[in-house]
């Protein structure tokens, strides 16, 4: 079926589109948005026939009053489970969701103080206009090949003050060439968009991972932080040191192996993954998907029990909310690689279907002030509380 429509108890409509053009996809989004007097549409796509900028512009023409935010992906989680080649649109009803947005262009050269100040102004405007008796969170989508997610995320979080932040980095189906973020009727690279969302629907922000730190430690002794490249670990060629630690020949190092044995860094008493996305075969350097620098201490980890750890997280959220309506999830592409390698991808897909997890495969995840890897982050929504939200602020 080229179109699949799912309506959640909160009033949110999940529209999954395959094998369509940008124009026909935009027409479908516009029609369903009009049906529920939508406040916005969140759009995540790896559909090969739907060019992001053409779609964004078509939406502006077909639904000129609809706020469309989104990005290219490394696959999607739709109501049918984990897959790729789909455009997923989550259409938010205006009587339950109130949104204000800020687009950050030229992320790589942006002044972080200016970003924080812009977000602080957004926060002030939003909270003045939003319903006073409802809760607010912030959503960030950012170019996954910008190499600046850490500083942008930190600046956004600083400007938000006490508002929780969640989000994901755009992907391009593991090509690692160019990713796009949709906002303001266009789709562009080197861009981030922040949406502040106030809703009467109960929600919980969360993160879940499944890596277990081991004894082996590495010190980064030579790196190129701007490109997230590590040339040396423990004063030895990075690939040589890593391969010996995991017990594999260098020529067998690949994405599934990196996903099964990530490295983690300790921050504030917690371990956060720094995923390795590839190997430079000519130099023996390791290519990272997160910030890296000389002197950073990394701990080798092993990914274990993804199905069990994710199931526990979903059960806990279900208990807290008195039942999950749906989950907006940002799931690292490396988790999907590891799940496929361990032959549990079908189990993960079934689990996501059971808890109505929808969202996209990312090149990194945002959680409060941190940019993460190999983690599932998101916001789980409970059953809708009756109430009316105002129209979206400009």
Number of DSSP helices (H) and strands (E) in the chain, helices first:
9, 27
CA neighbor of 300 nearest in space, from 221, 216, 224, 380? 216
Look at residue 392 in the predicted model and tell me its pLDDT: 36
Q: What is the distance between the alpha carbons of residues 212 and 305, in angstroms, rounded to a whole number?
A: 10
Give 268's pLDDT tier (boundaries 50, 70, 90): confident
Per-residue pLDDT tens digits for 39-67? 999 999 999 999 999 999 999 999 999 99
Start-to-end CA span in the chain (Å): 36
Residue 232 near residue 292 (C-beta atoms within 8 A):
no
**Span 352-374, pLDDT tens digits:** 999 999 999 999 999 999 999 99
Going by pLDDT thresholds of 50, 70 and 90, the confidence category of residue 385 is: low
Do 293 and 225 form a contact (C-beta atoms < 8 A)?
A: yes
Q: Which residues pair with 197 in a beta bridge?
A: 99, 137
What's the pLDDT at 384? 65
């Amino acid at each position: 079926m080229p179109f699949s429509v799912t309506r959640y108890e909160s009033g949110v409509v999940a529209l999954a589109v395959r094998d369509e053009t940008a124009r026909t996809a935009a027409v479908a989004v516009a029609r369903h948005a009009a049906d529920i007097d939508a406040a916005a549409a969140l759009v995540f796509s790896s559909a090969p026939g739907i060019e992001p900028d053409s779609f964004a512009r078509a939406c502006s023409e077909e639904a000129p009053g609809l706020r469309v935010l989104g990005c290219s992906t490394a696959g999607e989680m739709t109501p049918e489970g984990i897959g790729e080649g789909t455009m997923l649109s989550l259409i938010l009803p205006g009587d339950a969701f109130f949104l204000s947005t800020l687009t950050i262009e030229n992320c790589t050269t942006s002044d972080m103080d200016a970003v924080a100040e812009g977000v602080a102004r957004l926060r002030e405007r939003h909270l003045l206009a939003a319903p006073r008796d409802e809760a607010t969170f912030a959503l960030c989508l950012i170019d996954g090949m910008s190499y600046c997610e850490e500083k942008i995320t930190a600046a956004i979080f600083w400007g938000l003050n006490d508002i929780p932040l969640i989000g994901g980095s755009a992907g391009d189906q593991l090509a690692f060439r160019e990713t796009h973020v949709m906002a303001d009727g266009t789709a562009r690279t080197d861009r981030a968009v922040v949406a502040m969302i106030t809703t009467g629907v109960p929600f919980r922000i969360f993160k879940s991972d499944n890596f277990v730190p081991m004894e082996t430690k590495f010190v980064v002794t030579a790196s190129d932080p701007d490109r997230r490249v590590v040339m040396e670990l423990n004063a030895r060629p990075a690939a040589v040191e890593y391969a010996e630690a995991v017990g594999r020949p260098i020529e067998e190092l690949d994405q599934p192996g990196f996903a099964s044995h990530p490295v983690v860094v300790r921050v504030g008493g917690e371990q956060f993954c720094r995923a390795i996305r590839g190997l430079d075969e000519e130099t023996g350097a390791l290519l990272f998907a997160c910030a890296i620098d000389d002197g950073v201490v990394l701990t080798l980890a092993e990914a274990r029990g993804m199905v069990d750890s994710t199931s526990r997280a979903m059960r806990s959220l279900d208990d807290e909310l008195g039942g999950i309506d749906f989950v907006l999830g940002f799931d690292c592409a490396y988790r999907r690689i590891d799940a496929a390698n361990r032959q549990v991808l079908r189990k993960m897909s079934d689990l996501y279907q059971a808890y109505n997890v929808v969202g996209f495969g990312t090149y990194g995840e945002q959680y409060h002030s941190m940019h993460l890897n190999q983690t599932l982050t998101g916001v789980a929504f409970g059953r809708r509380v009756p109430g009316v939200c105002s129209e979206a602020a400009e």
